[in-house]
Structure 1
Amino acid sequence: MMSLLDQISERLEGLNKSERKVADVILADPKAATRMSISSLATASSVSEPTVNRFCRNFETSGFPDFKIQLAQSLATGTPYVSRNVEQDDSTEEYTDKIFTSTIAAMENARKQINTTAIERAVDFLIQAKQISFFGLGASGPVAMDAQHKFFRFNLPVTAYDDVLMMRMVAAAAHTGDVIVAVSYTGRTREMVEIARIARANGATVIGITAEGSPLAEASSVYLSFPTPEDTEKYMPMTSRIVQLILVDVLATGVTLRRGVDFQAHLKKIKDSLKDTRIPDNGNA
C-alpha cells in the first residue's frame, strides 16, 4: 500500500492550483508539516483553511488531524519519495543532495510496488524469443542501448533502436516469436504507442516498461510500471531513467537464471575475453 507521501507525490500534477500549493509546502518539509496547525499550513501555502481541509479529504483522511497522523506514519515507515525540485538559487550541496535523495527514494518506492508476476511473464516471453528489439525515444533511448549491451550475451539476435522510422519498420516486419521491449516514462508518446500496436498486429509480443494506465501499457502484451513522479514538462527525466535501468537488470537476471547453471560457462567466456584489455591494478586485477 502506498504511503501518504507517495500518494501526494504521484497525484501532484493532477491537483488544482490551490491544492498544489498545499502539497508543495508538505513535500518541501514533511516533518515540519506534521507540527503545523491548520491555520499555519494554510498561511504557508497562501490558501484558506477550507482548502487545506478539502486537500486532506482528497487523500481519504477524515480531516486535518487524521491527515497529520497518517503523514507522521508515512515518515516513520521508510524513505518517502519527496518531490524536491531543484531551484534556481540552490547551492551545489543542496541540488546534489536533492538529486541523490530523490533517486534513492524513487528506487525504494519502485521496489515496494513492482509487480513480480508481470516480471515473471516478461521473462517467460524473453526466454522463448526468437529475437529481441529494444525501443526507446529521447531519454529512454540510452536505456534501450543499455538493454542491448546486457541481452546480447544470451546468444539471441538483439538490437536497440532510438529512431522512430526504424522502429516502425521493425514492428511492421515482426513475426510471432519476436519480442519488442518498448521503454517510455509517460507511455503517451504517440509514435511509440502506434509502433506497439503495429508490432502486436503482426504477431509480436510487446513488453512495455512504462506508466500504469498509460496508452502504451494498454497496447502492450505485458508491462512493468514504476511510480516515479517527475514533471517532464519542465525537467529532464532523472529518477525514472534510473528505475528503467534497474528493471532492465532485473529482466536480464531473470533470463540468466532461467538459462540454468550450464549457461554460466558461456557468460564467463565473454567476461574472460575482456581480461587482456585491462591494465592491471597493482597486481590486484
Structure 2
Amino acid sequence: MLFLPYNISLKNTEIDIYNYIINNLNQVGLMRIRELADATHVSSSTILRFCRKFECTGYAEFRLRLQAYNKSLGDHRLAIAPVDEFPFLEFLKHTHYPDFQEKITAAANILLESDLVLFVGVGTSGIFSRYGSYLFSSLVSLALNIEDPLNMPLYNLVDNRHQKICLVALSVSGENESIINYINHLKAHHAKIISLTNSGNSTIAQLSSVNIAYYNNLEMYEDTNITSQLAVTYILEALARTAHQAKCSN
C-alpha cells in the first residue's frame, strides 16, 4: 500500500485521501499539508492522522517517502534487449539431430498410447500448456489442461494400472514446486511424464520419462521470467504433428 509492504486499515475518509494521492502522485509530492487537506476536503489534523498510519511522524516525512516511492515507479522502466534470433536458429539446427528426433518420436508414442493426457504449466508456461492441450485435442485426441495445479488436487485419481496416464509438464526453470508435486503424485499412479524445460539437468527433467530441453538464454525483467518461448512453441507443434502422423499411419 503506497510505500508500505503490507495493507493497513483505513476509514472511509482516509480511503478517499488515499485514492486522491494515488491518482495524483506527482502533484501531491509537491503539495503543502493545507493544499492536500483542501483538495481532499478534510482538515490538516486528518491528514496528519493519515500520515501516522503510514508510519510517518508527520506530513514532511510522508511527502519525502511518497516522492521516493513515485521515483521508484519510474526506475522500474528498465530497458531490455531486442529479440535475439541466434539462440532460436541454433535450436532449429539442433532439431535435425537424431537425438532430438528420437525424443520427439518417443514422446509422441507415449502420447498416443495414453488414455488420459494432461498438460500443466505455471505463469507463461501455463499459457503454452493451454495451447498444447488445444493443439493435441485438435490433431490427436482429447487432452486436458490443468489451469491451477496448486488448487487442482489429484487425491481421487483412480489407481488403475490399465489406464495409461501421461502428464506433459512445461517449466522454464524445471524447478517449480507445485509441478514437481504433481509429477510425484502421478508417478505413484504409474503415469508417464513428458517435460519441456530449459535445462536437461533440472529436477522436473530428471523425473520425466522423456525430457525435451531447449537451452535458451534465461532472461528476467525484474521478478518476471521473460525467457523466449519460441522453442516451446516449436516443440509442442512438432509433438502434436508427429503424433497425428503416427495415428494416421496406424
**Deviation at residue 113 of structure 1 after TM alignment:** 3.3
Find out whether 1:146 has 2:131 as its counterpart: yes
* Equivalent residue number for residue 210 of structure 2: 222
**Deviation at residue 239 of structure 1 after TM alignment:** 4.4
Q: Give the TM-score normalised by the residue count of structure 2.
A: 0.59
* Equivalent residue number for residue 113 of structure 1: 94
Equivalent residues in 2 for 1:159-170, closer than 5 Å: 159-169=144-154
Find out whether 1:99 has 2:82 as its counterpart: yes
Question: Which residue identity does 2:241 align to in structure 1?
Answer: T
Alpha-carbon distance in 1 for matches of 2:110, 2:170? 16
Find out whether 1:196 has 2:177 as its counterpart: no
**Deviation at residue 221 of structure 1 after TM alignment:** 1.1
Alpha carbons of structure 1 residues 89 and 252: separation in structure 2 relative to 1, 3 Å = closer
Report if the CA contact (8 A) 1:135-1:167 is conserved. Answer: no
1:210-230 CA-partner distances (Å, limit 9, x unpaired): 121100011111110011021
- Identical columns (%): 18
Report if the CA contact (8 A) 2:219-2:227 is conserved. Answer: no
Equivalent residues in 2 for 1:1-285, closer than 5 Å: 98-100=81-83, 102=84, 104-114=85-95, 115-154=100-139, 156-169=141-154, 172-173=157-158, 175=160, 176-210=163-197, 211-232=199-220, 234=222, 236-260=224-248
Structure 2 residue matching 1:197: 3-state secondary structure? helix
Structure 1 residue matching 2:231: 3-state secondary structure? helix
Structure 1 residue matching 2:82: 3-state secondary structure? helix
1:226-262 CA-partner distances (Å, limit 9, x unpaired): 1102134736444432211111001011011112269
**Deviation at residue 173 of structure 1 after TM alignment:** 4.7
Q: Select the structure of larger CA radius of gyration.
A: 2
Alpha-carbon distance in 2 for matches of 1:229, 1:149? 27
* Equivalent residue number for residue 66 of structure 1: none
Structure 2 residue matching 1:169: 3-state secondary structure? coil
Give the number of equivalent residue pairs: 168
Structure 1 residue matching 2:120: 3-state secondary structure? strand
* Equivalent residue number for residue 15 of structure 1: none
Structure 2 residue matching 1:260: 3-state secondary structure? helix
Report if the CA contact (8 A) 1:208-1:222 is conserved. Answer: yes
Alpha-carbon distance in 2 for matches of 1:232, 1:124? 35
Alpha-carbon distance in 2 for matches of 1:174, 1:183? 24
Question: Which residue identity does 1:105 align to in structure 2?
Answer: F
Backbone CA RMSD of aligned residues: 2.7
Structure 2 residue matching 1:99: 3-state secondary structure? coil
* Equivalent residue number for residue 74 of structure 1: none
- Structure 2 residue runs of 5 or longer lacking an equivalent are 1-75
Structure 2 residue matching 1:207: 3-state secondary structure? strand
Report if the CA contact (8 A) 1:183-1:209 is conserved. Answer: yes
Runs of 4+ in 1 over 6 A off after TM superposition: none
Alpha carbons of structure 1 residues 184 and 190: separation in structure 2 relative to 1, 3 Å = same
Question: Which residue identity does 1:258 align to in structure 2?
Answer: A
Name the structure where helix makes up a greater proportion of residues: 1
